[in-house]
Amino acid sequence: MRRLDTRTVGDDGEAEAARLLTRRGWAVENLNDTVANHPLYDLRASKNGCTINISVKTARSANRHVRFGPYAVISQLADDAFIFVFLSPHKGTEIDIGTEAYELWIVPGHARHIAIDAHVHYHSGDELAAASSTSPVMVKDKIDRSGGRSISGAAFNTLRNQYKDAWTVLPA
């Protein structure tokens, strides 16, 4: 997939999240319909008097790298919000929302610290510290080297194991 397709893939992820939520009885509003590329949340969903805000992340990379966005933005995510992450089902394959060839994580806002902690750990203590505030918070489907600076693979697996297809984390 070409880099120019990033916006299309993101839009497809938002539409798929809205479709899946609607199928489960939620009324969904796409916040990007009123503010182009809303900085924090993409969707607002309501059901049974409960309203939630949702940030949708679609990882187009066949390497299964999940970018949560800039540190300054992801840090503002509310604990009671959610992050819907769409990524390819297997390393080495491209995501295909249209054929439902994807893996979905439903991450509660309070769990964002898992990715943030990996980001801070990677950027701590050297010349990369200044980049911490400007580079995206990211987790990767990889095996971390023992004693290495990255714990991104561990964070990826923690999020995947806890929140893959985790519809039960949403309010009833």
**Does residue 46 belong to any structural domain of this protein?**
yes
Angle between helical axes of 113-123 and 152-163 (0-180°, round to 10):
180
Q: How many Å apart are CA 93 and CA 141, to the nearest integer?
A: 13
Please tell me the predicted confidence (pLDDT) of residue 1: 45
User: In whole numbers, what is the pLDDT of the chain averaged over residues?
Assistant: 87
pLDDT, tens only, 5-56: 777 888 999 999 999 999 999 999 999 888 777 779 999 999 999 999 999 9
State the CB neighbour count (10 A cutoff) for residue 22: 12
**Does residue 144 belong to any structural domain of this protein?**
no
pLDDT, tens only, 128-144: 556 666 778 888 888 87
State the CB neighbour count (10 A cutoff) for residue 55: 26
**Does residue 68 belong to any structural domain of this protein?**
yes
Local structure of residue 115 (DSSP, 8 states)? H
Could you tell me the CATH number of the domain that includes residue 10?
3.40.1350.10
State the CB neighbour count (10 A cutoff) for residue 119: 23
Domain count across the chain: 1
Q: Which contiguous run of DSSP H or E holds residue 161? A: helix 152-163
**Does residue 140 belong to any structural domain of this protein?**
no
Strand partners, 44: 29, 53
Q: How many Å apart are CA 46 and CA 9, to the nearest integer?
A: 24
Give the residue, 126 or 68, on which the prediction is more confident. Answer: 68
Please tell me the predicted confidence (pLDDT) of residue 92: 87
**Does residue 138 belong to any structural domain of this protein?**
no
**Does residue 121 belong to any structural domain of this protein?**
no
**Does residue 13 belong to any structural domain of this protein?**
yes
Range of the domain at 59: 3-111+162-169
Task: Quickly state the pLDDT bin for 70 (edges 50, 70, 90).
Answer: confident
**Does residue 34 belong to any structural domain of this protein?**
yes
Q: How many Å apart are CA 127 and CA 146, to the nearest integer?
A: 21
